[in-house]
A and B are shown apart, each in its own frame.
Chain A
């Protein structure tokens, strides 16, 4: 198998090298990729949508259909991971282990036993579970700033590099950081599984719903200039606002999918302590 693999890889490589001989040189302004459609986008985006970031405008407006289905693909991937891994069967062990956070003492509670009523205990799955106060504290301090930055990235996607996909990934990463630095149970307490799944579909719904609203208002699907009468702005600004709305939808969907996939993969679908 190794030899076949090597032969196939070299064959494909040779074909690509042969093809690359006819490709335009690197950073050639007159290359075919940069001469047909992209000059229109670069020169007309500002007057057609009033969005300076061309990437955002093309992503959410000119190629709105493509992005909508990319969001759907991400949603389906989250759903697929959930359906593949999630197990709802409860396998309660005979004894559960708890750690007293302040002292680091581990308690073993037999089946039917009860803990003293206190918030200082956290449940652990294996007897040896590393625990570091510095990491926990630093991450807890960092997470609000990460989330603030993510909101900035989503909101300023029109004027600077950013948008729904990037901001959504950063938001998801902040919750995943919580799950890594503390444990999965803490993260799930903040972002419950049902809420996560619900928001994931709400994100896709915001995108598709904006398109459907444009349809109801008498223009084509995802033609945001139809929103002008609803938002009380002219049709060019309406396209800019429409882009912001769908970017928020994309951000929510991407954030929740990242958290959903991480939670399921890291705990094998059991939603226990996690990594």
Chain B
């Protein structure tokens, strides 16, 4: 029992991201409203972003901006263990902005669907398509 609890505590970042991912996936599949599906997609994206940022963390390390960087003479030896992994930060930095852009495209598509069918509910849209 104590083993299980220590595993749960040691990897809690993964449990948070898995939970968020499941919520997003469920919303994308099961929700009837297109805007709710888009919100589900965003929750899914946020889960991935949290996952990536959390794997970059190192215990006792600081943000990946070098100290004494302003003189620029390189007298200070830099240890990799003192700074968190910058790579996930870079990847997620662009992913966040691209996520906003894809959200814009998704909302634009939703607006077009609404103009065409006068509803955002998926079953009503499908019923209208079958009638045609």
* Minimum CB–CB distance for B4 against chain A, Å: 11
Q: Which residues of A, 124-150, contact B by the 8 Å Cβ criterion?
A: none
Quote the shortest CB–CB distance from A91 to chain B (angstroms): 14
Q: Among residues 82 to 97 in chain B, which have CB atoms less than 8 Å away from a CB atom of chain A? A: 83, 85-90, 93-94, 96-97
Output the least CB separation between A27 and chain B (Å).
4
Which A residues are CB-close (under 8 A) to B69? 46, 51-53, 159
Q: Contact check: which of B66, B87, B108 meets A265 at CB < 8 Å? A: B108
For residue A16, CB closer than 8 A to chain B, the reply is: yes
Interface size class of A (residues with CB under 8 A): 35 or more
**Do most interface residues of chain A lie in helix, strand or loop, or is the interface mixed?**
helix
User: B94 touching A1 by the CB < 8 A rule?
Assistant: no
Measured in the bound complex, the distance between the Cα atoms of B85 and A66 in whole Å is 18
The verdict on A210 contacting chain B, using a C-beta distance below 8 Å, is no
Residue of B nearest to A75 (CB): B101
B111 adjacent to A265 (CB under 8 Å): yes
Residue B57 at the chain A interface, CB threshold 8 Å: yes
A73 within 8 A of B: yes
Residues of A with C-beta under 8 A to B30: 1-2, 4-6
A1: chain B residues within 8 A (beta carbon):
29-30
Q: How far is the CA of A26 from the CA of B86 in the complex (A)?
A: 16
- Cβ < 8 Å to B, chain A residues 150-164: 159-161, 163
Query: Are B58 and A73 in contact (CB-based, < 8 A)?
Result: no
Q: For residues 7 through 41 of chain B, which have their beta carbon under 8 Å from a beta carbon of chain A? A: 7, 10-15, 18-19, 21-23, 25-26, 29-30
Minimum CB–CB distance for B64 against chain A, Å: 4
Chain A min CB distance to B9 (Å): 9
Closest B residue to A39 using CB positions: B80
Instruction: Pick the interface stretch among A78-86, A92-100, A105-113, A214-222.
Output: A78-86
Given contacts A42-B78, A254-B97, contact A53 B65 (CB under 8 A): yes
Interface residues of A in 248-275 (CB under 8 A from B): 254, 257-258, 261-262, 264-265, 268-269
Chain B residues positioned under 8 Å from A201 (CB to CB): none
Given contacts A37-B87, A80-B108, contact A10 B22 (CB under 8 A): yes
Stretch in A54-62, A177-185, A186-194, A224-232 with 4+ CB within 8 Å of B: A54-62
* CB pair B72 A73 closer than 8 Å: no
Q: Give the residue among A4, A50, A261 with the most B Cβ atoms within 10 A.
A: A261
Counting contact residues on chain B (CB < 8 A from A), the size range is 35 or more
| Cβ–Cβ contact A20 & B90, under 8 A | no
The answer to whether B101 touches A261 (Cβ under 8 A) is yes
- Give A12 to B89 CA distance when docked, in angstroms: 26
Q: How far is the CB of B52 from chain A (nearest CB, A)?
A: 9
Q: Which residue of B lies closest to A44 (CB)?
A: B78
Q: Are B66 and A16 in contact (CB under 8 A)?
A: no
Take A34-B58, A42-B83 as given contacts and tell me if A59 and B104 are in contact as well, using a CB distance cutoff of 8 Å.
no
User: B90 CB to closest chain A CB, in angstroms?
Assistant: 5
Contact B18 A16 (CB under 8 A): yes
Asked whether any CB of chain B lies closer than 8 Å to the CB of A207, the reply is no
Residues 49-90 of B, flagged 1 when their CB comes within 8 A of A and 0 if not, give 000001111111101111101101010001111010111111
List the 8 closest pairs (A to B, CB-CB), nearest first: A52-B69, A5-B30, A77-B101, A5-B29, A39-B80, A261-B104, A20-B14, A9-B26
Listed in ascending order, the chain A residues whose CB lies under 8 Å from chain B are 1-2, 4-6, 8-10, 12-13, 16-17, 20-21, 23, 25-29, 31, 33-34, 37-39, 41-43, 45-47, 50-55, 58-59, 63, 66-67, 70, 73-74, 77-78, 80-81, 84-85, 159-161, 163, 165-166, 169, 254, 257-258, 261-262, 264-265, 268-269
